[in-house]
Amino acid sequence: MSSDLEAPISRPSTSKKDKSSKKPRKSTAFIITDHGKNEGDDPHWAYQPPAGAVLLDHAVEPEEFDWDMVKDDDDTEIWLIRVPDSIKEKHLEGLEVDPPSSSRTARVGGLTRKNSTYDVWSIADDDTDVIGGEELRGVSCLLPRKKKKGKLCTAPKAIARHIIIAAQPPIPAVPEHQPIVHQNPPRPSYPKDVLKHHFTPYGARSGENATSLNVSMDVDHADSPAAKTAQADGKAKEPKGKKRKVEGETPKKSKKHKSGD
């Protein structure tokens, strides 16, 4: 046999996978805990405030706003006040208002700031159509509690009064020297002893005028062809009777028969 017919002998090539498999694997440490996966305490789970915000310090003494102090004091009420953005807390110092009532909406005071004037309104329990403030019904109050390390808790009392500070609506100013375009002349006034009252409702007439005004109206009706034929038939069938007496004609004298003696 010739050497051309001999098949080439293939040798197994070493791949990269075989080389990598020969490297020793690193051992992984497993931590076995009593709880399941993704459970337990993690030091990175603590709340972090967003940028520009500061975490509230609960170590501050709450003083008169403490939850227990508000609950134990029967003379303390919780008021909810809504103020505009232009009003600061210092502007409300020394503000005097009338004792508000929870049964009706009323204006209880006023506040003047530079070129603006504000009204202080007390909102009733079910009346918010005058000045608004219906969103205040769904607001609750949170107070810090010293026994729980300053954590905020729901207030032990309900909100007693809802106060709204609102700006007065602008009133258009009238020019002082505005010319009068038109003015009606003054109406004359008459003394009451000269005036006579006469009540005549619509459609009512007195007895004297009713007879004089009760006149039949002549209305022109367009006669239909059927009506005309009915009138013609009626005239044709009308029997000849006695002549009717016409006004203006003198009656004929009847002859009297002499009775025998």
Q: What is the pLDDT of residues 86-126, one digit of tens each?
A: 888 888 888 888 888 777 888 888 888 888 889 898 888 76
Q: What is the pLDDT of residues 170-213, one digit of tens each?
A: 777 767 777 777 788 888 888 888 888 878 788 777 555 555 55
**Alpha helix segments (H runs only) across the chain:** 16-21, 67-72, 207-213, 225-237
Q: Which residues contact 33 (CB under 8 A, 6 or more apart)?
A: 40
Domains of the chain, residue spans: 63-167
Of 159, 125, 120, the closest CA to residue 143 belongs to 159
